[in-house]
Structure 1
Amino acid sequence: MAISKAIQQQNRRRIRIGHSSTFVIKMKLVFAAMTLAIVYVQSGVIVQGPQSITVIEGDTVILSCRADGLDETSGQAVIWEETSSHPTISHNRQIVREEKMNRFSIVGNETNGEYNLQITSVIPEDNGIYSCSVFRGSSTNASAFLTVLYPPSNKYPVCFPLENKLQFTEIEMLSIVCKTGISYPPANVSWMNANSQVINDTNVVLIGDEYIVSHKEVIYNYHDGASFTCSVSHPLWSKPKNCSIGPLYILYRPLITISVQMTTANVELKCVAIGNPSTFTYKWVVFLGNQTSPQVYFKKLDIMSETDSLILQRTDYYSAELVVECSARNSEGEGRTNATIMLSSSHCRGSTTKIIDVCRTISVPTICVLVILIILSLIAIVFLIMKIQKLRKSAAKTDVSNVSSRVEMKRKGNNGVYVTLTESIENLERI
């Protein structure tokens, strides 16, 4: 019985050893098979990848990709991805993104391992990085950047005033805005004034997919009828596109100038007013005085004239200095200016407030008298000169006849002595 038990225990030990050896052998076989499978699967690689390229919106582009050693039976496949978010575009020759199926396709010779990505009617959203790689193959991939050039949308530019109005009063602030869409490269946007000069004082912000270019300017009377233009240019456009705001309607009080015309009998004055609205009421005031009196002592005369013209009779203001003031009023206020007229001298002059026309105050009879006096003066001067010349000639003859000259003569005597003889001209004439 003891021998039988020993034999049974020995047999059980042999069975355990046999089972253990079989398990080890199986595990080694499985490991070897997995290693071979991994090595075999990783045999597919990318041998030619895409190149970065720049295209214009609407064009067709092809990004190249060629694989080598691809084994589709083991599950390998060439895939295209957008690396920004790693979404898969294609699996072998099949586009798997539904929104891209109408414009994206895989082209090329499949036998040569070509899996080129073709994109038709390129749009700005296609801009980005694209890469091709072998699924379940080599861990390497090839990437390229696709740059899409595109201008702003055709609905731009758009101009409008923030106040949504075109009528202003003086010293009011105008705020204008020009909108244009995003583009690549970004468009050039500028505001121009009525003289086509570029305005440098602008502000640019990006809100959503629009660029907002704004400008603020204080409004004055010279802005009346003016327009502001926004010009947008882009390399893909043959010429800039514009939009404008205006013409502006500016309300302002009158600006006054006075023109003066002198005649022999009258002083004619014209009050020229510029303002908006252009309906004016006029008032004339005349200050009387003389050249020596300060203006504060002038006597003030209200002229009953409500038109833009005033005629003064010169006989009523003989030899006087006049200060004529004109004022004009509209709904925005009153403007005024004055002119000083010197009737006692031969001119009129503008006041310190406004410069006016040069005027003539010398009458025709006065001019005739002056001409006659000048002619008579010239005749008298000529006569006097002739008289002086005659007197000079007469005086010269008298001097020659009355002058005695002494003539010295030297005569040599017998003894060699010189004798000097002096005789008058009268004696010589008698001899």
Structure 2
Amino acid sequence: MDPTRRSNAVTATIYFFIMLIGFAQAQQAFSVQPSDTQVTEGNTATLRCSVTNKGGTLTWTRDGAPISVEGNIIDTTNTRYTIQGDASSTYDLQITEAVLADSGQYQCLVTAGGVGSDEILSDLATLTVLQVQSFIKVPGDTSVSQETTATLECQIDNKEGFLYWLRDGVIISNDTQITNGIVRYSIVGDQAAGEYNLRIVSAQEDADQGSYQCVVTAAGTSERIESRVASLSIQGSGQRLTIVPSNAVFTEGTTALMRCRVADKAGTLSWLQNSQPISYDKEVSLGNSRYSIVGDEAEGDFNLQIQDASPNDVGTYHCIVSAASGAGNEAISSSGATLTVIAATAPDSGYPVCSLVPSTDLKEGDNVTISCTSRGGEPQPKLDWLRDNLAFDGNYVALSLNARNDVSFRLTNDMVGAVFECLSSHPAYTTTQKCQLDPLTFELTPTIQVSLDTLTLEIKEDETGAVECTATGDPAVLGYSWYYNGVQIAETDARFLITEEGSSKSTLTVTSASLSMDEAVVSCEARNRIDSESVYAVVRIIEDDLYQIVLAVLALIAFFVFALIVVPIIVYYCYRKQQKKTKVAPIENGTATISGTKVTSNYFITEETIPNGNAKKSPSRSSSKPKVLDHETKRVDSADEGSYGSPTPLPDLTGRGRYPQPIRSQTPDGFMNDTMDSARSGRVGSYDVEAAQLQHEAELQGSVKARRPSSSRRSSVSTPPPPLNNKVSLSPGEYLIRDEYERKLKELESMKKSMTGSGMIQDDAKSRKSRDGGERRKHKHKKRDKERDDKDKESHKKSKSKEHREHRDKKDKKERKDKKEKKDRKKDSSR
């Protein structure tokens, strides 16, 4: 290679390495990083941080929140925090009088700056502040009466050693144990809260009066601590102090309380602040609005309470009682008690924090909770909620490390868009800190209420009418729509006019009513962005008076037509129906009157009662319903017979004088049954109907000739026909028919009696006498027939021969004939 070229390459390589070294020297880096540190409460803690080739900005953070930039502390009120170093490469964080709130994770970071300089972060360093024991309350000078109870207070925070009480320099207790052997002494209070109060019951002037001190031994990170020496005075009588104020330490912004109790108070009790009186009994001097006297006055309590303690309240306080008349009521005073107010520690930066739970998918009626939280600080800040700049109460809780104010409520429609804000007040704040929630939004429950001023719109024909629609809704009503018989009314429809007054009201006007609109339905629909609702009204068209008059006349004509045509038809129908109901069975002997109508029928004969000589072919009573035949009685011509018009009795059956011969009334000659009967003439079990009828007519003619002529207005009683020449016997079937016929006659007789007794049948005077006679005869005949039936039954049991039956029938016919002739003679003689 050429020497010149070789030298140039060497030179370039040297320059390249020089540039790399220069870049390496320009890159910023940590030379010292912070490390984990422990410090006792009240001591100074230092966290180190050094940077070489620093090109960016150095920042300290605590729990991720910045607390300093370069050499400046962001919170200027926090005087305990400082940056120590040369402000070019060394930036050590120093914390004096460390408190528990200083505990956390610290980190040092440098932003990017310069060529080739990136952002760098140090390791996380944990600072732990160790608590040390200290006094919260120390005993104070106390004066009590003889035989009363004296209490000396002592309360420790973060107690690590052993606590003991000294009386006149001698140990009398070890923690909670009394070591002097006096049972009147005891340690009382909440040991978990560090209370180790000495109580002396029935205090004695000689034995208990003296000086007392509370001491805690060294242990762990805590050194030995001793309280002030307090005197206990025992008085025999007069006014005396039983509780005296003691030294107290309070944090700025908290409520301080100095206690004082007097027994048998006679004078005036006053509080002195730095030797200046600030109260007289319960009254506090003007200008001290944060001061007040609290406690039970009856017990002698006159405690001084200071709200929102501040450095201005630091001083020495005395409780004194002026002298009064009486033995032992000299002026008395407590020893001075020092009130110390320490500076407040501000809460952590970035607080308070507001939150809403739940925060999504909210609906009207849901229950939600808003929370305002603060962390750190001594004392804890006050947290107050505001809604639309108006304060409202919440549930405030203050703990040792944080404070919280929660409010739970139910979402209502008036909360839409509400703004909730939390204010944090603390003595360390120069300005009130706050947090705020976004305007509240949630889904509303849709509600619409629609109403019309009338549900029936009455309009006269050819005139105008209007109906008004009003609606309210949540969300608000956006507009209205009108419908006629379910069809939306258009703006171009000349029959209607729609006017609206914003979202509160809409009016529908019918410009000209017509009869076609009668009974039409109009509806109003109101709507919002979520829902809609409708309400209906009916249109009634009132016609002119002329139409009403025509309708009235037509209605009157219709009424008269109904009265003249329909009503008579109904009356006639009812009358005919009643006439049918009044038809009853006629009376056997004589005429009767039913509702003014003469009844001439003398008996009812059913088709079942017509014997046909064949018992097997006779219809069964259980299988067919009998048909009642109404037989009209034929009157005998008065010129031929001279009778009274009485009904013609039925002819007797051959061989039996007490059973009438069946007659087919209103049956034409040559009826099939007559033919059948005639065909059966002369057979056993049958009878000759034609022969019976001829015989009966001959007898009637002979009877008429034998009688004297009588008046044409009266008719004689027909005599029974003589026995027939042909002897006819009854078959078993005819005996059944005869018994059924007799039963029917008895039923008709019973019906006649019931109708006569109820007044349905009214007899005239002549027929009544004949009827009564007939009734007596009928009763006598029935009795006789019953006796004969009984005899017949007995005779039938003995003999059922043909000769016996013929003899019986012959005898019956003869008796009947004799009886008839006797009656005829009697009537002829009476004439």
TM over 0.5: no
Higher gyration radius (CA): 2
The structure richer in strand per residue is 1
Shorter chain as normaliser: what TM range?
A: 0.3 to 0.5
TM-score, normalisation: structure 1: 0.38
TM-score, normalisation: structure 2: 0.21
